[in-house]
Structure 1
Amino acid sequence: MVYTSKLPDIQEPTTGIIQFIFANVNKTPEDKPLLIDALNDRFITYSQLKDSVLKFGAGLQDVCGFSSSDVLALYAPNQYNYSIPLLGAVAANMTKAKVLICHEDNLDTALQAAERVGILKKNIFIFGEKAVRGVQPFQTALIRERKAVPAELTHEEAKDKVAYLCFSSGTTGKSKGVMTTHANITANTCQYTALDNAFIDPNVDRMIGVLPLFHIFGLTAILHTALYWGIPVYILPRFDLVKFCETVQARKITFACLVPPIYLLLAKSDIIPNYDLSSLRIGISGAAPLSADLGREVKARLPNLTIKQGYGLTETSPSAIVEPTDRTIDGSTGILLPNMLAKIVDEHGNEVPQGERGELWLKGPNIMKGYINNPQATADCIDSEGYFHTGDVVIIDKDQHFYVVDRIKELIKYKGFQVPPAELEGILLTSPIIADCAVIGVYDAAQASEIPRAYVTLKPHVTPSDKVAEEIMKFVADQVVPYKQIRAVRFVDVIPKSPAGKILRRLLRDQAQEEEKNATNRPKL
């Protein structure tokens, strides 16, 4: 059967993102601080944000010759003024990047990357208030007097016009640029608002922003939603448990979008009782499943906090299924948001009876336009009826609450970040001591996250040992970002493969589960 949301349909917005955000339907006061630096209290008010966004957009046009076919790349940790270049690029009309805005912390990498892809140094700018190595702050270089006039989009144009390119590995394979349109973002903001609007008071509620804003979860659930609602967001450049607790206590934070590893700290860390976190009343968990047991542990420590899961992907902008605040169920990922349709199917695409396991297919106004420059990958996951094939296996109960129970796709989710096994296997196979390998995700309860584990067949002259395992992990760590590092190594005589040469990851996952049942057989690394 086709499952339809039990929530009333929303009227989908028909404008672009800039007009949607600054229509101010919730009557946010012009002088209200909305984006606050949690470390030093610098802030941007609603009117300052609108003014700066439009001036930034004009600066892109005037200084960089930015046009509707160009892209701005944002490469920086969370900043209280992150929204200015983000929305400013949208206002200028936003696909090879022409302009790059980075941070002093990653300037060297940014300059190297820009040189490789041909971005002119005059089109590279930096967060902050001073020039660094000749790279000018965007606030002084681009924000001038003229204001951009955002293009008025029809509803059809908003559904077609790409606003953001976040990257995802989809159901398998290498990272792909997800074409998220204006209509995807505006519809998804309203879909989620319809679920929680009754529980939010802009005069009282305050949000904390610790999730990376380059990730679709932080981008939509924090930046766009908070700006639309008109509630302040206290932004931290990165997650630090002490700073998080200090901010919640001092600013009386009420609303938080977090991931399971952070909830694990709230449940287990010895420092939590040192802070008054009683103001927290709504916590959303996303990016990876949150176990029922862990959710109950957190609520035992923070009884005022309602923890609710949400489900989505970069390809769904991201929210598709979210727990209702007034009727959460431990372990459930929620109910369909308005305007959503879902199917649960077997491996042949046939719909399964309610209560049985199957792959989740989703359809709605928040489903991406497709993967940029990759029509085959788009066709592989969006069918002719418009359903996105998620690769996640779910069960739906009699009240249409969804439970994620497995994943048929190969993608590993390490603390909310996507790690494609194929990428790590490609690196491992360049090692002079490795004959063959496979990488899978193995759940680690201590981190409340999957971790990438490598199964390795060594070349004949190499003897397995803890030292060799450490060398292999370092070999990969030297070539990837931290969240993609191999966290465990197992040595095997042969990598299981099908007659066609495809790695049989299910056999490795089954083997890992058997190992976990016997503590004496668990790997040391």
Structure 2
Amino acid sequence: MVYKSKFPSFDEPKTGIIQFIFSNKNKTPEDKPLLIDALDNRSITYAQLKDFVLRFGAGLQDVCNFKTDDVLALYAPNQYNYSIPLLGSLVANGATTTANPNYNLEELSYQLEVTKAKVLICHEENVKTALAAAARVGIQLKNIFIFGNKVVEGIQPFETALIRARKAFPDDLTHQQAKEKVAYLCFSSGTTGKSKGVMTTHANITSNTVQYTSLDDAFIDKNVDRMIGVLPLFHIFGLTAILHTALYWGLPVYILPRFDLVKFCETVQNHKVSFAPLVPPIYLLLAKHDLISKYDLSSLRIGISGAAPLSADLGRAVKARLPHFIIKQGYGLTETSPSAIVEPTDRTIDGSTGVLLANMLAKIVDDEGNEVAQGERGELWLKGPNIMKGYINNPEATAECIDSEGYFHTGDVALVDKDEHFYIVDRIKELIKYKGFQVPPAELEGILLTSPIIADCAVIGIYDSSQATELPRAYVTLKGNVQPSDDVAKQIMKFVADQVTPYKQIRSVRFIDVIPKSPAGKILRRVLRDAALEEEKNEVNKPRL
């Protein structure tokens, strides 16, 4: 059967993101601080943000000769003023691509090259990598800027170089143009190795913002509630669920550059934060870390968990410790902008990822694409105004996951109960989810196979309940003259670590005589997962003195 959202349909916004955000539907006071640095209390009001964004857009045009459909790349950790360049490029009728601030030279260069970025804004923490990548792909030095208020490595702060007197104003888009015009290019890892640039349109973002906020409007007090921004803003979860949601609702958001448990607790306690989009590893700390009892976290009312599954047991453990805290899951992908399924605040079910958001359709299908009976497992297909336009410069990959009816094939296995609550129970795709980040096994396997001591290999994710996340594990067949040992395992992990960003690192190594493969040569990862489960069972049942 085709599942249709039970929420009332809404008229999709028919403007671009800038007009949508600054239409001020929720009557946010102009002088209300909305974007706040949680470390030093610097802030930007609603009126200041609009002013800065319009002037930044003009600066792009005047200083960088930024034209319609040009791309600005953001390569920085969370900053309270991250929204200025993010939205400013849209004012100049271009698009923004957000890059992981920990990307190495190869990873950043790839994203800049695929998106053909014209302007790059970095941070003093990664300016050297930014300069090297820009030189490699041909970004002019005059088009590179930095966060902060000082010149670093000869690079000017964007606030002084680009925010000038003139204001630009974005083109007015028709509804059809809003559905076609790309606003953001976040990257989503594929199972074939290289990550893919997701073309998220103006209409994708405006519709998804309404889809989510309409679900929780009744539970939010826009005069009292406050949000914490600790998730990475380059990621679609942080980008949409924090920045766009907070700006649309008019909620102050306290932004931390990265997750630190002490700073997180201090921010919640000192600023009475009530709304917290988080990921399972953070919920695990809330459930178990001794530090939690030293802080007053009683202001927390609503928590959203996304980016990876939250087990029913972990959800219950957090609520046992923080009984005032309603924790609900959401499901989505970069390709769905991201929210597609979210638990209603007044009807949370432990282990459920929620119900379909408004204006959405879903199917659960078998391997042949046939719809399965309600309650049976199958691949989840989704359709709605939040489904991406496609992958940039990759029509083949787009055609593989969006069918002729407009359904996006998620690669995740789900089931639907009698009340149409969805449960994500498995994953067809082989991606490893490490603390909310996607790690493609094929990319790590490609690196491992360049090692002179490795004959063959396979990488899978092993779930670690102590960290509430999957950990990348390499199964390795060594060349004949190399003997397995702990030192060799460490050598292999370092070999990979030297070439990837931290979240992609191999966390354990197992030596194996032959990598199991099908007759066609495909790695049989299920065989390796079964071996890992058997190893874990034997370890648990090992006699102890």
Bin for the TM-score computed over the shorter chain: over 0.9
TM-score by length of 1: 0.98
Mapped to 1, the partners of 2:28 and 2:193 lie a distance apart of: 43
Cα deviation 1:39-72 (Å, max 9, x = unaligned): 0000000000000000000000000000113100
Mapped to 1, the partners of 2:541 and 2:472 lie a distance apart of: 18
8 Å CA contact 1:334–1:401 kept in 2: the answer is yes
Name which of 484, 487, 500 aligns with 1:464: 484
Mapped to 2, the partners of 1:318 and 1:364 lie a distance apart of: 12
Q: Which residue of 1 aligns with 2:44?
A: 44
How far apart are 1:173 and its partner, in Å?
3.8
Q: Which residue of 1 aligns with 2:70?
A: 70
What is the CA RMSD across the aligned residues, in angstroms? 1.0
8 Å CA contact 2:190–2:440 kept in 1: the answer is no
Mapped to 1, the partners of 2:369 and 2:491 lie a distance apart of: 44
Mapped to 1, the partners of 2:160 and 2:193 lie a distance apart of: 41
Q: Which residue of 1 aligns with 2:390?
A: 370
Q: Which residue of 1 aligns with 2:29?
A: 29
- Equivalenced residue count is 522
Residue 177 in 1 paired to residue 197 in 2? yes
Q: What fraction of aligned residue pairs are identical, expressed as a percent?
A: 82
Cα deviation 1:425-474 (Å, max 9, x = unaligned): 00000111100000011111011001111000001111111111111111
Q: Which residue of 2 aligns with 1:119?
A: 139
Mapped to 2, the partners of 1:97 and 1:379 lie a distance apart of: 25
8 Å CA contact 1:183–1:366 kept in 2: the answer is yes
AA partner of residue 265 (structure 1): L
How far apart are 1:514 and its partner, in Å?
2.2
Q: Which residue of 1 aligns with 2:234?
A: 214
Cα deviation 1:300-319 (Å, max 9, x = unaligned): 11111000000000000000
SS in 2 for 1:362: strand
How far apart are 1:518 and its partner, in Å?
1.9
8 Å CA contact 2:36–2:42 kept in 1: the answer is yes
Residues 95-110 of structure 1: pairs in structure 2 closer than 5 A: 95-110=115-130
Residues 1-40 of structure 1: pairs in structure 2 closer than 5 A: 1-40=1-40
Residue 254 in 1 paired to residue 274 in 2? yes
Q: Which residue of 1 aligns with 2:164?
A: 144
Bigger shift: residues 370-379 or 167-176:
167-176
SS in 1 for 2:515: coil
8 Å CA contact 2:191–2:440 kept in 1: the answer is no
SS in 2 for 1:442: strand
Residues 279-298 of structure 1: pairs in structure 2 closer than 5 A: 279-298=299-318
8 Å CA contact 2:360–2:383 kept in 1: the answer is yes
Residue 444 in 1 paired to residue 460 in 2? no
Name which of 305, 308, 319 aligns with 2:325: 305
Q: Which residue of 2 aligns with 1:132?
A: 152
Mapped to 1, the partners of 2:534 and 2:93 lie a distance apart of: 53
8 Å CA contact 1:58–1:147 kept in 2: the answer is yes
Residue 230 in 1 paired to residue 250 in 2? yes
AA partner of residue 84 (structure 1): I
How far apart are 1:172 and its partner, in Å?
5.0
How far apart are 1:171 and its partner, in Å?
5.7
How far apart are 1:170 and its partner, in Å?
4.2
Cα deviation 1:137-195 (Å, max 9, x = unaligned): 00000000100111000000000000000000246542000000000000000000111
Q: Which residue of 2 aligns with 1:197?
A: 217
Mapped to 2, the partners of 1:92 and 1:420 lie a distance apart of: 34
Residues 82-101 of structure 1: pairs in structure 2 closer than 5 A: 82-94=82-94, 95-101=115-121
Q: What residue ranges of structure 1 are gaps of 5+ in the alignment? A: none
How far apart are 1:99 and its partner, in Å?
0.2
Residue 164 in 1 paired to residue 164 in 2? no
SS in 2 for 1:97: coil
8 Å CA contact 1:412–1:421 kept in 2: the answer is yes
Name which of 510, 515, 523 aligns with 1:503: 523
Q: What residue ranges of structure 2 are gaps of 5+ in the alignment? A: 95-114
Q: Which residue of 2 aligns with 1:514?
A: 534
Mapped to 2, the partners of 1:424 and 1:135 lie a distance apart of: 34
Residue 413 in 1 paired to residue 472 in 2? no
Residue 391 in 1 paired to residue 443 in 2? no
Bigger shift: residues 231-240 or 170-179:
170-179
Mapped to 2, the partners of 1:401 and 1:197 lie a distance apart of: 20
8 Å CA contact 2:476–2:515 kept in 1: the answer is yes
